[in-house]
Structure 1
Amino acid sequence: MITNLVLATTLALAPSPGFSWSVQPSGPKGPTGRDYFSYSAAPGDTIKDTVGVTNRSSEKMTFKVYATDAFNTADGSFALLTADKKPDDVGSWISLTKRTFTVKPGKRVDVPFTVKVPENAAPGDHSGGVLAAVTQQETTGDGQKVNVDRRVAARLHLRVNGPTTTALKVDRITASHDGPIVGDRTVKVSYRVTNTGNIRLTANAKVYTEALFTWPQGAAAEREIPELLPGSSYTFTDEITGVLPAGPLKASVRLTPSDPGGLSPARIDPTTRSITFWAVPWVVLGAAVVIALLLIRRRRPARR
């Protein structure tokens, strides 16, 4: 089965015209204006909520509504397990009394669901999604028939009460440079960021280089680190231009984390990781060698 997933909190269009639907947090009186599902609960708690599925197509559609777990892909994107994989985290805590719904064009169905937090649930963030899927049979270019599972989902984040750890780790940092023999160079810094805590985090990253005596080199690069779920990693590469070949240089990555859920009462401390590398000043070394040879020649005793 081929899966095509669109994460959405508002209208999400499927690939073909006239074939679209939306999934969003709702309530007994309809959509509540929430961007996604967000809860804070203790182990053993029960939460009741509603998801709205709106058919924005020109014909009636049958949806399969269910929940599953989230993860970060290799490029850092938020994604949900495919339909053939069984959730073992927050997706498995969610139950619906009914899972299949046929909705007329332009109409919405509000589907109640229950979240039962296990007594032994680990403290911290647990992320997933509630989605509506439509399976259709399509024909490929070579005439084969395949089932295409298209899904639209609303994100769900649940923070279980208890001790939280907020930590982003920078590792696998490397630095390389290129440029002319004479003049400034460009330094490329690659680094992996891992969320080693138990809550989801974003961060501002500042990447910079320094020569001896903390002499700044080049223009620092900055980027926003996308939301990383606990245990997830992503590798970034940033460029610093205008760096002088000043011999031993230090490349540093400074992360200032933040809690996108806004639930952490305490300030999250920044973290910095550095690496030392060489940008050989060939012109300076060449001039020094020439001067040394001239001095040696002048000091050499003249032959009789």
Structure 2
Amino acid sequence: MPPPTTGRAVRLALAVLLCALAAPPAAAAALRTPSPAKDAAWTARPAGSGAGGEAGRPYFYLEGAPGSVLQDRLSVTNPGPSPVTVRLRGTGGPGAASAPGTGPGAWLRAAATEVTVPARTRADVPFTVTVPAGAVPGDRSGAIAVRGGARSVEVGLRLRIGGPAVAALTVEDVTVSGRTIHYTLVNRGNTVLAPEIAVRADGLFGTLLRREARALPVRLRPGQRLGLTEPWRDTPALDSTTVRLRVTAAGDAHGEATAHAVFVPWAPLTGGALLLLAAVAIGAYAYRRPPGRPARRGRPGPGDDRSARDQQHSGTRHSAQAGAES
């Protein structure tokens, strides 16, 4: 029987042997596992101003006066093993607060609209945003759309144009149709507005509708036109009314407009008018041909003319004979 020391040594040697046998497959499996960086997709974000400086910017932010040219850089990183070709263009971006063709996306010019980024490389693409000389001061938003293969990324771009802020709005195209008031709000300023509306309608005998100012669930961008409606369920059956809308917003922006509406119960009036016309027609017919009156004779024919002439001659002869006897 081997001593206890020898048995422990044998067991230790077997454990080491088993570890050695299990190590190569584990190592091979590790080699076969792809690197996360190796399989990661390309990315696009604002470039930093220095080594690791502003790489964490979530979007571009530029500020300048009308007529200025603003510059920045877009960074496209390709961690994969193959080159990637991407295309760049300016867009309005999600939730952009500017009309098509009037925001920073339309004013953007990249140094290259198509860029090929080598494997495991980062490329910085310069671009400029030229603010038109007649641009209205205020905030604008857009994006840089980057597309490569089946992947598409939008990097936000926010622009603040310097100058005095002007808040102005108007109410237009007020009409009443059925039980609904239609109107259009227009932002005439250069700031985003959150409007409030007050409604009043007056008839011939007093106020028919009165609603105090309340916030509308909309936000008006500079230059935006928005058609809205206001319900009016208790419209009068017969009245002539004046509807007045007053809209206000922060910055002393306000607008007011009126419309006139006439409410007539057309169904009863139409039925009454038809009955009246029928009565008038019946009365006229009865007046022209009363009961017991013989029908009017037609025009006399040739025989009737001859009979009339014979009667006339006979009357003449009788008159002559009476004169001779006298």
Counterpart pick for 1:193 among 185, 198, 207: 185
Counterpart pick for 1:30 among 55, 58, 62: 55
Alignment of 1:196-211 (within 5 A): 196-197=188-189, 199-206=190-197, 208-211=199-202
Query: What TM-score comes out, normalization by structure 1 length?
Result: 0.51
Counterpart pick for 1:216 among 186, 209, 229: 209
User: Comparing both structures, which one devotes a greater share of its residues to strand?
Assistant: 1
Q: Percent identity?
A: 22
* C-alpha contact (below 8 Å) 2:241/2:262 kept by paired residues: yes
- The answer to whether residue 138 in structure 2 is matched with residue 130 in structure 1 is no
Question: Which residue pairs with 2:227 in the alignment?
Answer: 235
Counterpart pick for 1:156 among 136, 158, 163: 158
Change (3 A) 1:89 1:220: closer
For residue 40 of structure 1, report the CA deviation from its aligned partner. 4.1
Q: Which moved more, 1:267-276 or 1:91-100?
A: 91-100
Alignment of 1:87-98 (within 5 A): 90-91=104-105, 93-98=107-112
Change (3 A) 1:195 1:109: farther
Q: Distance in 2 between matches of 1:194 and 1:173?
A: 13
Change (3 A) 1:100 1:47: same
List per-residue Cα deviations over 1:120-168 (Å, max 9, x = no partner).
Answer: 444424746232243779xxxxxxxxxxx9774625333242x554322
Question: Which residue pairs with 1:172 in the alignment?
Answer: 173
Report 1 or 2 for greater relative contact order, CA contacts < 8 Å, sequence distance ≥ 6. 1
Q: How many residues align?
A: 222
- The answer to whether residue 64 in structure 2 is matched with residue 41 in structure 1 is yes
Runs of 5+ unmatched residues, structure 1: 1-19, 82-86, 138-148, 178-186, 259-266, 290-304
Question: Which residue pairs with 1:64 in the alignment?
Answer: 87
Counterpart pick for 2:262 among 270, 274, 278: 278
* C-alpha contact (below 8 Å) 1:221/1:239 kept by paired residues: no
* C-alpha contact (below 8 Å) 2:97/2:141 kept by paired residues: no
Which amino acid letter does the alignment assign opposite residue 225 of structure 1?
V
SS of the aligned residue for 1:278 comes to strand
SS of the aligned residue for 1:203 comes to coil
Question: Which residue pairs with 1:12 in the alignment?
Answer: none
Runs of 5+ unmatched residues, structure 2: 1-40, 273-326
SS of the aligned residue for 1:228 comes to coil
SS of the aligned residue for 2:219 comes to strand
Which amino acid letter does the alignment assign opposite residue 252 of structure 2?
I
Q: Distance in 2 between matches of 1:22 and 1:272?
A: 50
* C-alpha contact (below 8 Å) 2:71/2:127 kept by paired residues: yes
For residue 281 of structure 1, report the CA deviation from its aligned partner. 7.2
For residue 249 of structure 1, report the CA deviation from its aligned partner. 3.1
Q: CA RMSD in A?
A: 4.9
* C-alpha contact (below 8 Å) 2:67/2:131 kept by paired residues: yes
